[in-house]
A and B are shown apart, each in its own frame.
Chain A
Amino acid sequence: MRSRLPGLGLLLLLGASGCKWDLGQVLFHPTVEERVKESLSGSLTQPQPVAVDPDSFRFAVFGDIHIKHDTLNRLSRFKQDVAPRGIGFFCVLGDLAHDGAADEYARAESMLSVVGIPYYATIGNHDLYQADGWSSFKGGFGPSCYSVVIAGRLKLIFLDTADGTIGATQFDWLEEQLNDGGPHWKIVGTHYPVYDGITPSMWRLASAAERAKLQSLLRDYRAYAYVAGHIHGWRYARVAGVNHFTVGTMPPTDAELDYGKPGYMIFTFAHDSLSWERVDFLSACGHAQAGEPGR
């Protein structure tokens, strides 16, 4: 589904945003279909399940670290939290590189590795802002669409929504993943959120029919959560039994404008149940909101 005409109208916006975009990439980027088919083809190194205590483990989720040449962020602060909070691994939900440049990817890979625990990543729109954006992403982080089952208890399903859409192949694959008959809990992680409150912004999946189909799949196959980034702030809604989170990110300052309150989420699996909490870097105790165990 190549799109050229709409892209032309966005070039001014991109220029004004300060992003170093590549004209060819904006107009002729590899589509979600192409990326998903490559991700599912087996030609890319597939992320493997991390080893954790199957009876009790914790992991963190955040997004939109937007690494640039000179980016400061709170990954070092996050690293300090890892041991005290018992975080076994973490997930980054897209926009790893601010302009999708190869050197930004290299820096992102280095900074994420320094945290010292395993992590999973998926792709965001900023990761595609250069002609070699997809190549750089898959070279450093692997597929954009994949799933892993952690300790036989939790299935993490990562979707590629960098285009703001899911696409035919990925929708079919998502339904297979959700309907796998396994006894594990399921969490879907991706870049674009579905809901953004009663007065929504434009930073979410745009098609109403697509959102209805996605939500019905999450409901029917009893997904525990749909976790997204893109909006640089914290959001929570429970829709038809499914927890919808927008996780926020790790800006270098305490500014709340574009990035919202800096922080991340922690999911805890214990006693065969899942619970969640939001860790707010600005709050004295670190916790902003939490959910009870269960569905």
Chain B
Amino acid sequence: MVRASRACLTAVVLVVSVSWAGRFTPAVLLGFRHEPGVETRMLVTGLADASLNPRLDLDAALGLGFMQNNGIAGYALGARVQPLATRRLFVEARIQHQQWSDWRAGENRVLGLVRAEVSRRVRLNLGAAYRVPVFDPACFASPFQWQSDAPEWNLLYGINWTFIERRRLSAFAFIANSDRMTLHNPQQVPLGLYGSYQLARGYSIHTRASSGIVGISGAIVSFSEFIFEAGVSRAF
């Protein structure tokens, strides 16, 4: 698995360097995450999207935590391919590493999903993730640790509904248990709002507010976390 991860990383770097011919969009986001009793921390996230050609996008993300679980919060690499002869169907693969330094715990994941734009405003995601929690204090921070006492397969799902789509402004509501950096257990049902506004040519601001639900399997439910994020991107 370690060799496979390294080979994968090498392949991504190779593809980027060989086929670069498109658009590059870095972004930085400042976030706040509060989960009662679990953690309260600030997050600074750096993102980079690269459209290599009309059918292939790559992205990378790095998150840093402050106040609690300081240091690296996680990082991820993703690739999205639009198969030939389809205009509204995408296949996405992603590797994520998330860690909590105070608890000396981490998790490595590989995700695969299919994204379908079922209409101009509605997008559906469906897929699966293999997650590897790492509780060994000696290697919880390693992205190459793929052995665990408690590995598991999780269903991935998502629905986005774009309810505002104007020249500069767009906004959508979502229910989805994965994003670039994180994966929620399917029964946590994360939901939220995302908006972006184009300030000037190439510059946009982005914001996201989301929460999640726990207790669904017992029908005694409560909101479990609160996340707010805002930042700016620059398209080259």
Contacts and interface: CB of A to CB of B under 8 A. Distances in A.
Interface of A: 1-3, 6-7, 10, 13-14, 17, 19, 21, 26, 29, 31-33, 124-126, 128-129, 162-172, 191-192, 195-213, 215-217, 219-220, 230, 237-240
B184 A208 contact: yes
Interface in B22-63: 35-39
B213 interface: yes
Nearest to A205: B214
Contacts of B183: 208
Contacts of A126: 218
B218 A2 contact: no
Nearest to A124: B218
A218 to B, nearest CB: 9
A212 B37 CA distance: 12
B215 A163 contact: yes
Given A125-B215, A206-B214, A1 B223 contact: yes
B221 interface: yes
A198 B217 contact: no
Contact of A206 (B39, B100, B152, B216): B216
A166 B222 CA distance: 11
Interface string B198-227: 000000000000001111111111111100
Contacts of B105: 212-213, 215-216
B36 to A, nearest CB: 5
B218 A14 contact: no
Interface stretch (B5-13, B162-170, B185-193): B185-193
B218 A125 contact: yes
Contact of B100 (A6, A7, A212): A212
A126 B218 CA distance: 7
B221 A3 contact: yes
13 contacts: A1-B222, A3-B221, A7-B221, A124-B218, A164-B217, A198-B152, A210-B37, A211-B133, A213-B100, A213-B103, A238-B149, A239-B135, A239-B149
